[in-house]
């Protein structure tokens, strides 16, 4: 093409699409690197199951799972209620989630002593905040936010 020559409409459209593609790729690189919803769910599930129990995880000491710090035995559902932007300095994504599952609740009275623990379903009463980040092996993990 010489100076003063104009592009055909087809060439102009192709150039525009090319530059839009480059801009989208650059934008994706800047925003990328965060966990998918499935990765958040998996990380929170692992954190909940390895936690010291329902009460320490949620800060709630009421209900059958909260009174005796019932350990969480199953996570049925993790619903992301809020997701923040990647904290580039500390390399984590803040999320809040509600968790549904099963804990081993220890009911206080059963005749003259404590009842044996029994599986009890729960859903967190309010969202629980986590920081989701990659560990040294490159796997997404969730840590409860304070």
Return the pLDDT at 27: 39
Burial 56-79 (b: 16+ CB within 10 A, else e): ebbebeebbbbbbbbbbeebeebe
Strand-pairing partners, residue 119, are 104
Return the pLDDT at 2: 55
Residue 132 pLDDT level (bands cut at 50, 70, 90): very high
Residue 36 pLDDT level (bands cut at 50, 70, 90): very high
If you average pLDDT over residues 94-106, what whole number do you get? Answer: 88
Among all chains, which residue has been given the structure tokens 């919803």? 37
Residue 45 scores a pLDDT above 90: yes
Look up residue 31 and give its two tokens.
């925003």
Return the pLDDT at 26: 40
- What angle is formed at CA 80 by the lines to CA 76 and CA 86, rounded to 5 degrees? 135
Pairing of strands 140-144, 92-105: unpaired
Give helix then strand counts, H and E, for the chain.
Answer: 4, 5
Q: How confident is the prediction for the chain on average, in pLDDT?
A: 79
Closest residue by Cα to residue 120 from 71, 79, 53, 65: 65
| pLDDT per residue as tens digits for the range 117-128 | 788 888 888 899
Q: Which of 32-36, 59-63, 68-72, 93-97 has the lowest mean pLDDT?
A: 59-63
Q: How far apart are CA 34 and CA 76, in angstroms?
A: 23
């Amino acid at each position: 093409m010489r100076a003063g020559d104009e592009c055909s409409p087809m060439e102009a459209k192709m150039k525009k699409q090319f530059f839009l593609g480059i801009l989208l790729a650059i934008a994706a690189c800047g925003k990328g690197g965060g966990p998918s919803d499935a990765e958040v769910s998996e990380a929170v599930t692992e954190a909940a199951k390895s936690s010291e129990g329902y009460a320490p995880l949620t800060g709630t000491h009421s209900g059958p799972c909260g009174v005796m710090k019932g350990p969480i035995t199953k996570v049925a559902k993790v619903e992301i209620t809020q997701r923040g932007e990647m904290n580039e300095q500390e390399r984590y994504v803040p999320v809040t989630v509600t968790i549904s599952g099963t804990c081993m609740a220890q009911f206080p009275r059963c005749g003259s002593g404590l009842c044996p623990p029994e599986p009890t379903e729960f859903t967190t009463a309010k969202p629980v905040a986590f920081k989701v980040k990659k560990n040294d092996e490159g796997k997404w993990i969730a840590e409860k936010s304070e």
